[in-house]
Amino acid sequence: MRKKKILVACGTAIATSTVVARKISELLAAKGYSVNIDQCRSAEVPGKLHGVDLIVTTTQAPLNGTGAIPVIQTISFLTGVGMEADIEKIISFIKE
């Protein structure tokens, strides 16, 4: 079975998406899940969708052409508030 791929998007793809991607990776690993995570700027989302199973974004992302790819828009991985609920949402998508 191939690893699921998560695309993490933020405004500039520098600090925020790095923090979020690392936190998602750590939390999923602690629960026994291994995924591939890519990062990009929100504006780049439409061009980065090949093979993506889930999009996690900290800002409004252009979602044209995302089709059936689920999107979670959240800042919980930055604030800590609601993080466990968002990890459970991510797991529900990557388990399918």
Annotated catalytic residues are 10
Helix axes 83-94, 15-30, angle to 10 degrees: 70
Calpha distance 69→47 (Å, rounded): 13
Neighbours of 96 (CB within 10 A): 9
Give me the phi and psi of 24, to 5 degrees please. -60, -45
Calpha distance 3→32 (Å, rounded): 12
